[in-house]
Structure 1
Amino acid sequence: MMGFSVSDELLGTVAPIVVYWLYSGIYVALSSLERYRLHSKAEEEEKNLVSKSAVVKGVLLQQVVQAAVAILLFTVTGSDAEADIAQQFSLLVLTRQFIIAMIILDTWQYFMHRYMHHNKFLYKHIHSQHHRLVVPYAYGALYNHPVEGLLLDTVGGALSFLISGMSPRTSIFFFSFATIKTVDDHCGLCLPGNLFHMVFKNNSAYHDVHHQLYGSKYNFSQPFFSVWDRILGTYMPYSLEKREGGGFEARPTKEFKDD
């Protein structure tokens, strides 16, 4: 009986999409836990300017484009089987590739994201679509205008793949990890014991500040580190306070309240 195998290239294309919806589904199941939410369920329904069905359609469109670019990228770059096998057994090489890819993706997304806020035309016609989610939720993480999805996420991902020199097999794990982190940043929950919140300062509360009117010119960093915000003066410090009626709220510190 012949075995069935799936290529690394196919897994590298499909895995991040599957991971996106599976991980989002976990947060959908947990969204009823009001005591851990950054906004109430009522606020989510009242403040958001786009229907959930439109969000799902927008995300699926972006994922189709991402899949097409991934297939093209894997086809153009090819795969060296011997080199791929060697990489699997070199923890140092894998660690270096992950770190480089994270830095490249963070840098690209910070400056593109910031520019889309400061350029009035780009914000009005492109980036404002993402900010229709005033109260972010997990499966809205990749809800963007198609042009933004291509420039910010797809091109950024392609650059991190190419510059880091990772193999298709390594890309399965890196982009699945990046996908989980992006979903987590938009989940709208602060759950106890969340490892992402312990390891990364750039988390759901950090990004929630950016989605509010007072923070729209701050906290641009995504998806991993807050370094560029801190270096370039766009970091908005905040405290996580208990919200009246249950849950939490990310509140800017006093100096920003007084601006």
Structure 2
Amino acid sequence: MALAISDELLGTFVPIVVYWIYSGMYVAFGSFENYRLHSKKEEEKKNLVSKWEVIKNVLLQQTIQAFLAIILYKVIGNDAAASQSQSSSPFIIARQFVIAMLVLDTWQYFMHRYFHHNKFLYRRFHSHHHKLVVPYAFGAIYNHPLEAFVFDIIGGTLSYILSGMSPRTSIFFFSFATIKSVDDHCGLWLPGNFFHFFFNNNSAYHDVHHNLYGGKYNFSQPFFVMWDRIMGTYMPYSLEKRDEGGFQARPIKRGKE
């Protein structure tokens, strides 16, 4: 007899598995200097936390998030979300995806920006994430646990409820959001990357945030750049080849900045 696994459990644990599989793929690609936005030496020199510490932090966060996700699925139930989503029509699912993306982007933009501008919140919480001056894939959710709760758990819950998606649809949405976040932090510029065709918010865009202008620009994550453009925090960049191999996302300064 096949063991039935609920959609809620799949929605909780599939994104975690996806996180490590997808980031593991980028770890393998990271050995190719011609695709890197920073050299290996620069990564080792600039980053302020060891990879082992990053792994422990991410595993702790995923444990906490899985526990909270199970509770939230039970509390929210199917009445708030699945009752609005009885049809499996591709149009309805696509609409729910777009709404969830916009909700998550809006929440994370304003929280992210506030955690930068508030000195206490940045120093006590968000600075953990910026210990990775040179981002890499499995450090995508290296954060202080409280920040992870505010950004990911609350943001994910709002996108789930307001989009009206079912638990089954949420499996795919949160797996997609996980892949996108890992891709943005991978530190690589791979030719033919699917996300680069559809999203201006990408690994180079987010690399600008992690580096020189990180406290002022490119707060948008994980999908669109609309809030940066609307709020005047958009920092354009040029992607240039480095002499020693790989690429560099060079910010294009605006005015007197």
For this structure pair, what is the TM-score category when the shorter chain's length is used for normalisation?
over 0.9
Query: Counterpart of 2:129?
Result: 130
Q: 1:55-98 deviations in whole A, cap 9, x for unaligned?
A: 0111111111211121011111223699598332x112111111
Give the letter for the 2:112 counterpart: H
SS of the equivalent of 1:217 reads coil
1:55 and 1:143 in contact (8 A); partners too: yes
TM-score between the two structures when normalised by the length of structure 2? 0.96
**Superposition pairs of residues 4-153 of structure 1, within 5 angstroms:** 4-79=3-78, 86-88=86-88, 90-153=89-152
Q: CA RMSD for the aligned pairs?
A: 1.6
Give the fraction of aligned pairs with identical amino acids, expressed as a percent: 69
* Superposed CA offset, 1:115-145 (max 9, x none): 0000000000100000000000000000000
- Displaced runs of 4 or more, over 4 A: 80-85
In the alignment of these two chains, the number of paired residues is 256
The DSSP-based 3-state class of the residue aligned with 1:213 is: coil
SS of residue matched to 1:251: strand
CA offsets, 1:4-57, max 9 Å, x none?
Answer: 221111100000000000000000011011001000000000000000011011
Q: Residue 78 of structure 2 aligns to a residue in which SS?
A: coil
Deviates more, 1:67-76 or 1:227-236: 67-76
Which residue does 1:229 correspond to in 2?
Answer: 228
Contact 2:82 2:166 in 1 (8 A): no
Opposite residue 52 of structure 1, the aligned amino acid is K
CA distances 1:212-259 after superposition (whole Å, capped 9, x unpaired): 033331000000000000011000010000112000000011436x62
Residues 163/12 of structure 1: CA separation in 2 closer, same or farther (3 Å cut): same
3-state DSSP class of the match of 1:92? helix
Structure 1 portions without partners, runs of 5+ = none
CA deviation vs aligned residue, 1:91-117 (integer Å, no higher than 9, x gap): 121111111100000000000000000
- 1:36–1:190 contact (8 Å) kept in structure 2: yes
TM-score (norm: length of structure 1):
0.95
